[in-house]
Structure 1
Amino acid sequence: MYQRILVATDGSDLSKKAVQSALSLAALTGATLVALKVVPRYPRSYMEGALPVDAQNVKQIEAQWTANAQTTVDAIKADASAQGVTAKAVVAKSDLVAEAVIAAAKKHKCDLIVMASHGRKGIKRLLLGSETQHVLTHSHIPVLVLR
């Protein structure tokens, strides 16, 4: 059925549920799991209201974010291994989360993307956006959305 499943995580509790569902599906189908966490770049615009930070501190902050992301996907890989599922841990750096998810799915030749959705509506959706919605509307790979 599925050969390679990409599961995107942001580390939230809802996302952890999606990871568990993706692990179960991978175990059932014998698929390889690709665990992905997208790390944004540190905002460098004064218009965003951020305090000015020197370049060295920006590098340290981004390195810490990347290390935390690596820890997250490594834990998923370990959980997968414990369940007998082959997994790969991937960290991508991008401010365009949805585009990074789609690109990673293509790069790793995945045939399913698994993501969580917070189900925001109205003004919250407008203000916060929806990465899952963007993946749904732009991906040519099937997407399984969990709530």
Structure 2
Amino acid sequence: MYERILVATDGSALSEKAVQSALSLAKLSGATLVALRVIPRYPRSYLEGGATVDISEIKRIEAQWTAQAQEQLSAIKAEGKNMGVTVKTTIAKSDLVAESIIATADKQEVDLIVMASHGRKGIKRLLLGSETQHVLTHSGKPILVLR
């Protein structure tokens, strides 16, 4: 069925549902699970009137985000081990979340991408965007979307 499954998580309760489904599917199919967390870069504003943050503070914040992501991925790996599922973890640092998911799926040669979607409609979707929608329309891989 599947040999490698990618699950993208942002640490939210909704993405936890995707993680649980991906772990169950990986166990059922005997697949390896690749757990991905994309961390955005800290925004830097040099525009007139924009507050700038010291570079050491930016590095500290980004290191904190990386540590939190690693902690979440380690928990997924431990849960996979308890279920008998091999879990590989990866962190991508990019503001382009959907592109990072697609690139990781291609690099890891996965058979399926599992993601959560908030299911926003109308103006909320327009304003907030949809990383899931972007992956759906730009990836050549099969995608399982959970809500």
- TM, length-normalised to structure 2: 0.96
Quote the offset at 1:46 in angstroms: 4.4
* Pair 85,9 (structure 1): closer, same or farther in 2 beyond 3 Å: same
What pairs with 1:1-147 in structure 2 (closer than 5 Å)?
1-46=1-46, 51-147=51-147
Please report the RMSD computed on the Cα atoms of aligned residues, expressed in angstroms: 1.2
| Identity %, equivalent residues | 73
Task: Give 2:93's aligned amino acid.
Answer: K
- After superposition, give the CA deviation of every residue in 1:25-61 in whole Å (9 maximum; x if it has no partner): 00000000000000000000245x8632111111111
- Unpaired segments ≥5 residues, structure 1: none
CA distance in 2, matches of 1:120, 1:93: 25
CA distance in 1, matches of 2:119, 2:46: 31
CA distance in 2, matches of 1:103, 1:64: 24
- TM, length-normalised to structure 1: 0.96
Q: Report runs of 4+ in structure 1 exceeding 4 Å deviation.
A: none
CA distance in 1, matches of 2:94, 2:82: 30
CA distance in 2, matches of 1:46, 1:142: 41
CA distance in 2, matches of 1:52, 1:131: 28
Quote the offset at 1:109 in angstroms: 1.0
CA distance in 1, matches of 2:50, 2:97: 21
- After superposition, give the CA deviation of every residue in 1:123-145 in whole Å (9 maximum; x if it has no partner): 10011000000000000111100
Where 1:98 maps in the other structure, the secondary structure is helix
CA contact (8 A) 1:30 1:85 kept: yes
